[in-house]
Amino acid sequence: MASNSSGGGSSDRQRIAQQRLRIIAGHLQRPEDGDSTILAEECKAQGSRTDVSREGRTVPRKRHEIMKWNGWGYSDSRFLFNKKGQAEFTGKRYRLSGMIIPGLKDWFEGTFGASLQHKTPATPILTSSAVQPPTLNEAFVEELKSTGIHFSHDAEDRVFRAHGHCLHEIFALREGKFGRVPDMVVWPNCHNDVVKIVELACKHNVCLIPYGGGTSVSSALECPQEETRSIVSLDTSQMNRILWIDEKNLTAHVEAGIVGQDLERLLNESGYCTGHEPDSMEFSSLGGWVATRASGMKKNIYGNIEDLVVHIKMVTPRGVIEKSCQGPRMSTGPDIHHFIMGSEGTLGVVTEVTMKIRPMPEYQKYGSVVFPNFEQGVACLREVAKQRCAPASIRLMDNEQFKFGHALKPQVSSIFTSFLDGLKKFYITKFKGFDPNHLCVATLLFEGDREKVLQHEKQVYDIAAKFGGLAAGEDNGQRGYMLTFVIAYLRDLGMDYYVIGESFETSVPWDRVLDICRNVKARIIRECKDKGVQFPPLSTCRVTQTYDAGACVYFYFAFNYRGLGDPVHVYEQVEHAAREEILANGGSLSHHHGVGKLRKEWMRDTISNVGMGMLKSVKDYVDPNNIFGNRNLL
């Protein structure tokens, strides 16, 4: 076993790590004042191993000090229209920060019929008096005090952990409306702290709701309105250390509260990575990935979370669940990891995870391909999957999403760059005859050994050419992945101007991809019209992950809600209809967002009556008193 790397190669590793960070997350320029970092506290109950690092982490206990309480992401980062009517992105954390985005205003107004004169600003300050006073279990609180575990019942802490990022949750917060919120928040520092908290919750019949990164889009973090017990949010963010790295077996043992950007940063410093990069990796946690069966954009090389996990430790009301060894595979009946993965906080708290790691890739290269139409783009992705030669990431945008991405292009810095962009557009649309209203673009990311990457790149571009695809440059590919980390901020901008929207996803067999894309987008447009939406909605999709037998499809839709009495209700009706259309077209209930409370009405049809009975039997045994009472899934 080994921990921190040392010796002559350390400086090279650090240099590669810094380069890697600049490229993958193309986004994190850490604040200079250091206010957004904390030191992980030593846990008295920790085992004998020395943790790899206790450097500053991204997530403080008081998250609202650096993050929005009623929107996405960091408080200093947002899209806005300045006094000149130009769009810009504020802050210093992202590559797009401080840049003017000249095309966004025209796209925004043209797409939604919106006007910068019609604004609906969010409630700027959380008013504590508007939050329901906590219902505390005094006996639980008194015993908790004796453990030394941090806790709070301040309104700001409670509200922050009462929601995820579903539209209805954020819309209500922007209006200063609060439903049922946790009565207190606790911050364990390690596995043994969690054991103590769960034991006390069982003793005093307190409801626990685990909270990781807070990025849920399935209503999973909402407190059940019918819950009469004291509700405690168990925030895992201070359990954020890499406990050890095993360089012989290429595994790392990590506390489950660590967020994705910190995990990658710390592993990079030792020359490793997990390669697990969901779009939410800045804020989502390792435990949350396990609890929702998460997927990352580079799963083609590294796998989904179920492929990366070697060992899981979870605290339940019945005790601790874990396997006896860290072997790569077992034939010992049904895999208990698959009871834990996807359990969405209903059975217990994931505290520690051993996962596979890999040496950081030697070489990384972006790319993009433009296709005459979406149908040929899908056919290309199908062939790439059939030949099992998919790059680390390959994502296909439909025409509407291509236009959206183009609108987000920052202002060019030189006349020469502008000239080249114009030349590319002329070549594709005039010389090659691509219709700007039908063409679509795939973004690519290759990584690994340099020679193999270049061979791999040629193979993929050769396949693309057979389907009419033209290479569209590295810059477009890299910009596409850079936008991954800022696109979530756009919903807040939309809500400032009467536009609401959301994304949702599914997985589907290859022979249904085109049908599901066409039918769901058409259903959204039809439902919006029938529900009285006065302006045509944005209805768009992209294929984000590919498999041997199918693909993951993401849908985005948004509309101008001026004139609607209850826009959130209309939105929920449209989304419900879209989900029905997905299921009717052979799609899954969810590819990686999970079920939560938002989609659980379809669970019985999805996994059968017997399947539901199996899940309920596990719940009844592991948690007979429903201590983990978030009411997700079942």
- 513-530 and 567-584 are packed helices; what angle lies between their axes, rounded to 10 degrees? 150
| 561 included as an active-site residue | no
Active-site entry in 489, 498, 554, 561: 554
Q: What is the DSSP letter of 262?
A: H
List of residues 6+ apart from 300 with CB closer than 8 A: 390, 391, 392, 393, 394, 545, 546
Query: Whose CA is closest to 259, among 395, 444, 74?
Result: 74
User: Percent helix, strand and coil across the chain, each rounded to 5?
Assistant: 35, 20, 45
- Which residues partner with 355 through β-bridges? 252, 309
What are 577's strand-pairing partners? none
Q: Is 315 helix (H, G, I), strand (E, B) or coil?
A: strand
Please spell the DSSP secondary structure of 108-130, one letter per residue. HHHHH---TTS--PPP-S--GGG
Q: How far apart are CA 595 and CA 612, in angstroms?
A: 13
Q: What region does 271 belong to: left with phi over 0, alpha with psi -120 to 50, or beta?
A: left
Determine the Cα–Cα distance for residues 89 and 87; give it in Å rounded to an integer: 7
DSSP annotation string for 486-542: TGGGHHHHHHTTTEEEEEEEEEEEGGGHHHHHHHHHHHHHHHHHHTT-SSPPEEEEE
Q: How far apart are CA 372 and CA 377, in angstroms?
A: 8
Q: Which residue has the tokens 């995990």?
A: 263
Q: Which residue has the tokens 């041997």?
A: 548
DSSP per residue over 4-16, as a string? S--STTHHHHHHH
The set of catalytic residues is: 554
